[in-house]
Every structure is written in C-alpha cells, then in structure tokens.
Structure 1
Amino acid sequence: MSAPFLPAPPRPASHDALLAFAWSTQEFTASEAMDATGLTRSTTIDALDALTELGLLRELPNARLAGEYRKGRPARRFSLRDDAAVLVGVDAGHVHVTAVVADLRSRTLATRRATLEVDHDPPAARAALILAAIDDALRAAGRDRADVLAMCVGVPAPVNAAGRSPRHPTGFWERMNPDLVDALGWARNLRIDNDASLAAVAEGTLGAAVGCRDYVTLLAGTRLGAGVVVDGVLLRGRHGGVGEMVAFDHVEGVGSADGLGARVAAWAAAAATDTSRASTGGLAAIPADELDARKVLELAAAGDPGAREIAERVGVVLARIVSVLGSMFDPQRVVVSGGISAGVEDVVAAARRHLPTDLDLPAPELVVSALGADVVVTGAVAAASAAARDGALDVWSAVEGEGSVPA
C-alpha cells in the first residue's frame, strides 16, 4: 500500500512550472526544460532534483548510456513518473456505471462496469454500487485508494460547485447523486459534475470541439442533456442547471426532454404495429422487444424506407433543438454525443436540411461525436487529469526517507 499524500509546505514557483512542462512533454533534458520555462540553469536543476526526490519525475539514463553518443558532458534526461499515482473517472449513469483507472498520462489501466436497477435503487444502494465499481477498478489496476491523486464522477443531474444536486419533484436528482461528495470524501481533488458537462469536457479535450471556444455538447440518448461552453468556459449556473432540457417540454415541435434515441425507438415501435400501413419492411421484421434505436438507425443507413422516415422525423426535432440552443447560447458548433452518436448520421443529415434559415443569428455547425458511448467517462478522466495537474504539488509530500509514491 502506498504512503499517504500529505499537505505540502510552501514551495518555489519553479516546481510548478517544471511539473507543468513535464506533464505536457515526454522525455526531456534539463536544457530543454530551462528553455521552455525561462528559468535559470541552477533553478531548473534544483527544481528537477526536488521533483525527482518527491517521486513525480524519473531521471532517465543519460544520452551516452542510452547509446546516443554525444561529445562533451552527457545531458541529464527526465520524464514524468506516470505511475506515481492514478486518476479515476466515473460515469454513474441512470442505468450503467463505468469506472476507469488511468495513469498520470490518462492511459487506461483498468475499467469496471456495473448495471443498476433502473428507478428502483435507493440512494444508499446506488452510492454503494458506485464505490464498489471504483474499488474493483483500483484492484484490477493493482492500486488502492491511497494512490488516487484526482477523481471525477459524472451523474445525470444538475450539480452545483459544491458537488451537490438540487431537490427534484420526484427525487430523481437526489437518487442520481446520492451525496457522492460525502461518500467519496476520501478522494483528493474530487469533482462531481453533470454528465453532459463532462461530455463537453471530453469533446473539447480530444473530440469534435478541440480548439472551439463556443460549443454545446448534446447528450441525446434516453434523455436530452447539454454541456455548454461559452468563451472557453464550461457554464454551470447557481444550481448546476445550465444545460437541463426540461424547457423543451414547452417548445413547439419538440414537446419534451426525451432523447433522440428514445424518440427513434418509440416511433419505430408505433410504426411497426401500425395496422393502417403495410409494414412489410425491416421494422416489421424485428421483434417488438428487440426494436431499439441502434437497430432502427442501422436500417436507415441501409436504406430501409420506414427507418429512413423515422430518422427524418427525428432530424426535424433535432433541428428545432439546435435552433433553440443556437438562439440561447450562440455556439459555433453543436456536437451530438453519447451512445447514439455511433449511428445518428442520417438524423443529423436530416437536421441540417431542416435548420431554419431565418434565425437572427447564424445557425451553428452541427457535427457528430466520434467518442461513442464512453464520452462521459472520457470527460471524467480528462477533468481528473486537469485537477491533478493543478493540485499535485498541493497534496504531495515526501515521507521521511522515501518518496510518497509506489515503489
């Protein structure tokens, strides 16, 4: 078991500068670190030695020992010690929980998944299952709670800056976020956030919104949810409610916060059982208990007329949703994200055709995410990585006689 992280004493700013450089670089020499940070040679060497002693950096064999002959004094080479601690990202969804343990380079070490009893799990049982998934993933990675440098958990509920969700008329939000900020209080650099917000983090970090400062990520499976980024800032609101879609209950042509996947499945089921129409196509051939959005969209992509009609109808709804989001937040781009994104191209193509042309503001660009069903947990790991970079030296301390990291 690893030695505990302890609050660190005040430190020179050079330590933060060198650690930030190391985190964004692979192997590097002291001279390269000095050039990148603008520090003097002596300050750079002192900081590198201090970070190596703490266990955050690893000194590598010099160029001559590594077989790269160079004249003169061999350069000292370093790299981030990516196994010094771990990051944990969790997608605690309505139906499924996914927990990922990653190293400090955000490379996955272990993943564990669990299924929840939909709408019948009391808050305490949900919290216990989430904790069990995290602990299982840590064990699978050969690590434990003491190794966690940062953790982020996404939930299908608004979350305020303190990690808590407001009361919901049916208790849904409280059940989705059963005071996880308390249940996970052992974790350092803990962040509880809305799942669509973390999808936006993922898209902005390595997805369809990289380099974009104004975008909306639309989670569009069973229920609609949006992560909103304006001027490069992820918006939250007082109660964490930015991006909640209940307002679409009152928007003509949308009518509810039901997601695109839910609409596809519901309209396909209705079409397959419509005795007033000759249902002889692919929809009629699929048993009712197997008819889901994925199968319908696969049929649409294959050219099935009934499925294409449903994709067109859902595209009209998506166009209305995008036009409202465009008017509210003025984004450059709207990214359709989540599990449904894998087969939603026909729906998005229809939405592009039906985007209004008479809006006061230009319509946003509409694109499909390539991150798939794990977009929320991907965003959670990315958020944990950002927290680790910012806070590593605030919680890291050398234990007398040895580093505060695994051997």
Structure 2
Amino acid sequence: MTVSIRRETPQRASIAAVLEHAWDAGTFRADDIMDRTGLTRSTTISGIDSLIELGLVRELANARTEHGYRTGRPARRFELCADAGMVVGMDAGRAHVTTILADLRGHRLATTSFETDLDADADQRRRDLTESLDATLRAVDAPRSELLSVCVGVPAPVDADGRSPSHRDGFWPKSNPELLTHITPWAPIVQLSNDASLAALAEGTEGAAQDSDNYVALLSGARFGMGVVIDGHLLHGRHGGVGETVVFGRIEGVDDPDGLGQTIARWARQELAAGRIGPEHPLAQLPPALVTAQHVLQLAHEGDSASRELTARAAAMLSRITGMIGSFYDPEIVVVSGAVSAGIHDVVAAARSTLAEELDLPAPRLIASTLGAEVVAIGAVAAAVAAARDGVLALTPERTFAR
C-alpha cells in the first residue's frame, strides 16, 4: 500500500489528526481518537494503519489480561513509535556548545557540552558544531541517518531565512556564519533560532511559564537577551531581533547589556582591584580571572557583607530592567534564565520588592528559572520536536520509519 500525503486531501488530514493524537497520548485506542477528533471508525482505523505502515505508530500486545477482558475481542491498543527517529537541540553559545539528543517525544537520550571560542574563524565555528553533534550521536552509537529534526540556537537575531544581520563589532555574523547552510545536510528538518527565543520556548513548555501566554525569558549570563511571548505567540520581528538588548545601555543604572553573571563578576574584580575588598576575603584567594558571579552569589547568601553589596546593586539593576520590560510588553511573568539562575534567587527576591516603583502597569511576576544552563538546548529540543510533528508526514512516502 502506498500512502500519498503530499496534497491536502481528506486522507492526509485524517492521518495528520491521528498522528497528532498519537504524539500527545501514551497508549491509545481508536475510540480515543474518535472521541477527540470526530472521525468515523473506518477513517480512524485507516489512518492508524497508514501510520503503522509508515513506522510512526505501533500496535501493542493483546490487552485482554491488562484490562480484565473475559469474553469478546479486546480493543486494539497503539502508541507512537517515539524511537522511529531522533531530534537534536543545540545551544551554540559564546563559550560552549551544548547538544541534547532526544527521541520524538523529547525524552533525552544523550547530552554533550564542549568549549568553543567565537573569536575563532567561521570554519572552526562550523567544525565545533559538527564535532558536538557527532560526539552526542556516538554516545548512543547512532548514525546521522536516524535524525529527523535539528534545531540550533545562536546568540544573534535570526530571520526567517536563517540569516543574522550585520553588527557593529561583527559579533552576530561570528555567531551565525551561514550556519543554516552548514546544518542542512544533518537532517530532513532543520532550523536555526535565536537563543533567547529558545529559552522562552523552554520556559513555556517545561519551565516557570508553563501556564502563561504572556511572559519574557530574560537570559542573564554573559549578556542579556529576551525571548518574548505575548498572547501565546513567540515574537520575532523582521530580522528576528525582538528582544535584543542594546537599549539596556541607555537605562540609567544599567549602562550596558552585559548580563547579571558577567556584571556581578566584573564588579567583584573592580572592587578587588581597588582594594575595597581586602586580601583576606575569600574572593581575593582566587585569580581575578576566575572570580565568577556564582562565587559572589554564594558568599552573599552566606551573609558576606561585601558580596551582599554587590548583589544589592544587581537587584537594583534587575528591578530597573524588569520595569522596562513590563512597560514595553506588559507580561505576566519575567523569568530570569540561564546558568546564573541557579544562584540568583536572593537577587530576584530583592528586585521583586522594588519592582512596583519602576512602572505604572501592574508589575509582572519576577521569578528565577529552574532549567539552569541547559535552558537554550532544552528549548531547541522542544522546537525540534514541534518541527518534526509538523513536518514528518511531508517526508513520506519517500522516507519510512519502520525498523
């Protein structure tokens, strides 16, 4: 049997409806789909059988014992073949490349993280991404041919064609040296996205904003970036630049778009260099280049007065930035995301206490993310799964997934 689903036919629509249910469900029966979709039994069974032939759905063993059947034929049971292919979500960041390999439901199979350097040439940038992908596949002994969908996040605006605009210091082209062209051979479905947008997707799918249609994910590590979801829609803009933060440098008390992590570390180094933090202090025992925001945040949490002064400055800055975000976008929630979020709770709490003074609208809820340093890669996996759901049927009948 050959199933043609390239044209928008009733058959294609019914198969798509069945697949949509299968992707969301665990074990299901034909009656479950009929109740949800209104499809007839014959159409539902035909759609299920087509997906079985394609290798996207499997029939499970007889359910007589499990469901206590004593007479008559037990209902047929099915499930999505989550192992019919794999997806990759990649955070191609400033100093690292983190790659998560997952099945078609987004369940993680392997993760790798490698250091990278954006000051390297474009060829090295591309090699770093390729090496990260291949190392992650090797972790589960899987070939690239198993990949169905890939999403890569970069710290730059990305337009609908996968391009980033020019930048005054060349940073955006360094982040995205025509990467969409480079990753296209990796899988049938590929996409490139801004990292903060993927952080927003992560927060909305499994993070702090799961129940909200109006929120901003504020990446806050090396530099600030915003992923903006308004009325349930992730905003992009003509060049993919919604959420770019150069304007932060025009805010009194903020001065530049360096993120909380980098800013706190820089302030600490300045205090050490000026002698305002004494030589016996724990921070002075570290080489200046190794002083991080995490060190300061932990000491502040333990009650160190010098560190608390720095975190109080950070809280004032965060409150002012959040007030600007609230005035621009009127979100319900602002989530402080990224690696720095693991130790930022005290700063967030202090910023929250003064936030109402920063805007006339009701203040958004300011909260710290629970997704940590992998938030962009987690969002990239979610984007790759969503793209697989939307695009897998267009790949057949040339590609089937039966094993």
Compute the TM-score of the two structures, normalised by the length of structure 1. Answer: 0.93
CA distance in 1, matches of 2:167, 2:222: 18
CA distance in 1, matches of 2:14, 2:173: 43
Query: Counterpart in 2 of 1:33?
Result: 33
Query: Counterpart in 2 of 1:182?
Result: 181
Query: Counterpart in 2 of 1:9?
Result: 6
1:279 Cα offset (Å):
6.0
Q: Which has the higher helix share?
A: 2
Q: Is the 8 A contact 2:319 2:358 kept in 1?
A: no
Find the residue that maps to 2:64 and give its secondary structure. coil
Compared CA separation, residues 357 and 170, structure 1 to 2 (3 A): closer
Compared CA separation, residues 391 and 277, structure 1 to 2 (3 A): closer
Superposed CA offset, 1:63-104 (max 9, x none): 126584343211111000011011111000011001111101
Compute the TM-score of the two structures, normalised by the length of structure 2. Answer: 0.94
Compared CA separation, residues 7 and 275, structure 1 to 2 (3 A): farther
Query: Counterpart in 2 of 1:112?
Result: 112
Query: Counterpart in 2 of 1:125?
Result: 124
CA distance in 2, matches of 1:180, 1:287: 36
Q: Is the 8 A contact 1:158 1:239 kept in 2?
A: yes
Find the residue that maps to 1:114 and give its secondary structure. strand
CA distance in 1, matches of 2:372, 2:388: 25
How is 1:270-349 mapped onto 2 (pairs within 5 angstroms)? 270-275=270-275, 280-349=280-349
Deviates more, 1:285-294 or 1:126-135: 285-294
CA distance in 1, matches of 2:70, 2:259: 61
Query: Counterpart in 2 of 1:3?
Result: none
Q: Is the 8 A contact 2:264 2:311 kept in 1?
A: yes
1:274 Cα offset (Å):
3.2
- Kindly provide the amino acid, as one letter, of the partner of residue 385 in structure 2: S
Query: Counterpart in 2 of 1:250?
Result: 250
1:278 Cα offset (Å):
5.1
Q: Is the 8 A contact 1:93 1:156 kept in 2?
A: yes
CA distance in 2, matches of 1:360, 1:166: 34
1:395 Cα offset (Å):
1.1
Q: Is the 8 A contact 1:99 1:134 kept in 2?
A: yes
CA distance in 1, matches of 2:197, 2:358: 29
1:318 Cα offset (Å):
0.5
Query: Counterpart in 1 of 2:71?
Result: 71
CA distance in 1, matches of 2:124, 2:375: 25
Deviates more, 1:61-70 or 1:265-274: 61-70
- Kindly provide the amino acid, as one letter, of the partner of residue 91 in structure 1: D
Q: Is the 8 A contact 2:220 2:340 kept in 1?
A: yes
1:23 Cα offset (Å):
0.5
1:179 Cα offset (Å):
0.6
Q: Is the 8 A contact 2:227 2:234 kept in 1?
A: yes
Compared CA separation, residues 352 and 280, structure 1 to 2 (3 A): farther
Q: Is the 8 A contact 2:156 2:176 kept in 1?
A: yes
CA distance in 1, matches of 2:291, 2:113: 24
Find the residue that maps to 1:142 and give its secondary structure. coil
Q: Work out whether 1:146 is the aligned partner of 2:145.
A: yes
User: Percent identity over the alignment?
Assistant: 49
Q: Is the 8 A contact 2:324 2:359 kept in 1?
A: no
Q: Is the 8 A contact 2:315 2:350 kept in 1?
A: yes
CA distance in 1, matches of 2:260, 2:5: 48
CA distance in 2, matches of 1:293, 1:149: 38
CA distance in 2, matches of 1:261, 1:278: 22
Query: Counterpart in 2 of 1:269?
Result: 269
Find the residue that maps to 1:384 and give its secondary structure. helix
1:145 Cα offset (Å):
2.6
CA distance in 1, matches of 2:265, 2:302: 17
Find the residue that maps to 2:357 and give its secondary structure. coil
Q: Is the 8 A contact 1:197 1:226 kept in 2?
A: yes
1:185 Cα offset (Å):
1.6
Structure 1 stretches lacking a partner, 5+ long: 1-5
Query: Counterpart in 1 of 2:401?
Result: 405
Query: Counterpart in 2 of 1:48?
Result: 48
Q: State the number of aligned residues.
A: 397
Query: Counterpart in 1 of 2:236?
Result: 236
- Root-mean-square deviation (Å): 1.9
Q: Is the 8 A contact 1:246 1:257 kept in 2?
A: yes
Find the residue that maps to 1:12 and give its secondary structure. helix
Compared CA separation, residues 85 and 33, structure 1 to 2 (3 A): same
CA distance in 2, matches of 1:50, 1:371: 38
- Kindly provide the amino acid, as one letter, of the partner of residue 56 in structure 1: L
